[in-house]
Structure 1
């Protein structure tokens, strides 16, 4: 198992930025219509729904689609930077998975309200 202090500061910062990017992405998606394209909703009983009636979706605007794409691109870039960080070359293969789990736990996700 990796010592808590063994992670380089830049790797911890990258992981925290990745957590933040995921949290911001989820929060943004929560505010969007349920369908990317305009679709008619339904009432419970017409189709299966755990949540009851589903209202019509106006779909996403081009700006919203671009924002989601930009957020995903940032998440991908940060993920690649974390996974490709030179630190992982110094971690024994049999300890790699646990070390990555520990990094995620140590660089806790931040509250989106605090991230702004």
Structure 2
């Protein structure tokens, strides 16, 4: 990816941005793996039948609480 020269730090707080070689093969594979995991987990949460047991404000509160929950690392 081609870099650019910042004029008055207009495009970057860091100033000039050098050329980037792009993602390595390993980085591309890791990103694809993480995107697949994100899609799988998001689908499992959104489509879970438990959400149907809640109505209105209770469903909103439960979803907001879930957003603020940290997850354990997979074992």
Q: Confirm or deny a common fold (TM above 0.5).
A: yes
Residue 103 (structure 1) aligned with residue 66 (structure 2): yes
- Establish whether residue 71 from structure 1 lines up as the match of residue 71 from structure 2: no
Secondary structure at the aligned position of 2:14 is classed as coil
Distance 1:72 1:59 in 2: 18
Aligned pair partner of 2:11 in 42, 48, 54: 48
Task: Give the stretch that moved more between structures: 44-53 or 78-87.
Answer: 44-53
Higher helix share: 1
Unaligned 5+ segments in structure 1 are 1-38
Q: What is the Cα deviation at residue 109 of structure 1?
A: 4.9
Alignment RMSD (CA, Å): 2.4
Runs (4+) off by over 6 Å: none
Aligned residue pairs, count:
73
Distance in 2 between residues matched to 1:80 and 1:102, nearest whole Å: 18
* TM-score, normalisation: structure 2: 0.74
What's the TM-score once normalised by structure 1's chain length? Answer: 0.52
Partners of 2:17 and 2:38 lie apart in 1 by 30
